[in-house]
Amino acid sequence: MRGWKMSGPDTPLFEENDVYVAGDGYPTYRIPAVVVTREGTILAFAEGRASQSDASQNDLVLRRSLDGGRSWTPIQVLAEDGANVLVNPTAVVLDTGRVLLMYQRYPHGFHEREVEPGYTGDRICRSYLMHSNDDGVSWSAPREITRSVKRPTGVTSIASGPGIGIQLQYGPHAGRILMPFNEGPWGAWNVYAVYSDDGGETWQYGETAPKNATGHPNEVQMIERTDGTVLLNARSIGGVRRRKSAISRDGGHTWTSLRDVDVLVEPECQGTIIRYDTPLVAGKDVYLFANPASTEARVNGTVRLSYDGGETWPVARTVYAGPFAYSCLTVLPDGTIGLLYERDGYERITFARFNLAWLTEGKDAP
């Protein structure tokens, strides 16, 4: 222990069930995102796809759990657009209780490599926002926000998350909503934040994080420290197969240069990072991180725990040793941890729920 007690029972708990299974409604599902509403409802988002291709007439879908992830409501189709492709669901729960969902639309026949810069025409990637005020039961119509989140020249693809956004709680920018983004062109990606200071009504984009010489950052997540700074954690492509990080001291507008995080190995895959935000650890920079902990393949799904704001990660435990790809972490009202993850060659998306006694093998519990 480090001078404080962590919430959750002292008996290790681990349970899981499948939320999306290939062939049940759609041929396959990918790209999980999960949040817990102010009322304790778990919202599990994904792309319902016609095939495993990133550009296969994807719809955005949702299942809800009212009992801590033990059971799930039927699949809701939140957004569909014919043969066009909807991707990268990224959600955030605001202090007001409103849930925002951001995503992108690719025109039919145009992959990330093929879309063009600009705001007009039928060959561009566009971004949309929708919201729910009733724990995900109903949703607003999608609203296009492309001009607010995409630079006017030079940028081809844009991608929110995928995963979650955050609402800042500390410092001069408290209340600001941050959505993590990467931008193309293909093979020369950058990462940055898109932010709103008026509850999601209007948005603007910040500067990209300066790159180092070990590859390009790609899919990204962000976390706020108790001193008001923001830490980003990004997938690396073409580098040394380590996660990349940078810090913002101005609410996500600018960033320090990206650096490789030696302990956070990866096979070039999306990852997930969150605060362990519960009353018993209020004011502490306790973080959770999950990804496939391998430099060779998308296997060995591992959850890590940091007590010092991501400087070190002394706790690591394997959730699933087999095929493990994209994932998203969340914290439930009782202090248990949820992980929504792809497994078994994208055959299913599973929700695992566990406590700190399980994660730390009994070393950290009341």
Closest to 365 (Cα-Cα) out of 13, 105, 46, 68: 13
Q: Is 326 a catalytic residue?
A: yes
Q: Which of 326, 341, 342, 364 is catalytic?
A: 326
Closest to 181 (Cα-Cα) out of 286, 255, 250: 255
Predicted pLDDT of residue 284: 84
Count of the separate structural domains present in the chain = 1
- Give the range of the structural domain holding residue 281, as residue numbers without chain letter: 14-359
Predicted pLDDT of residue 364: 76
Predicted pLDDT of residue 195: 98
Q: Is 128 a catalytic residue?
A: no
Tokens of 140: 């607003």
- In-domain check, residue 8: no
- In-domain check, residue 94: yes
Q: Indicate the pTM of the whole model.
A: 0.95
- In-domain check, residue 105: yes
- Dist CA 254 CA 246 (whole Å): 10
- In-domain check, residue 364: no
- In-domain check, residue 3: no
Predicted pLDDT of residue 214: 84
Backbone phi, then psi, for 280, in 5-degree steps? -70, -15
Predicted pLDDT of residue 90: 98
Q: What is the CATH number of the domain that holds 355?
A: 2.120.10.10
User: Positive or negative, the Cα torsion across 292, 160, 100, 209?
Assistant: positive
Helix %, strand %, coil % for the chain, to 5?
Answer: 5, 45, 50
Q: Which of 47, 59, 219, 285 is catalytic?
A: 219
- In-domain check, residue 117: yes
Mean pLDDT by 10 residues, the chain (366 residues): 42 96 97 98 98 91 97 98 97 98 95 94 97 98 98 97 97 97 96 98 98 91 96 96 97 97 97 88 87 98 95 96 98 96 98 96 72
Q: Which of 54, 207, 260, 277 is catalytic?
A: 54
- In-domain check, residue 5: no
Predicted pLDDT of residue 7: 43
- In-domain check, residue 2: no
Q: Is 15 a catalytic residue?
A: no
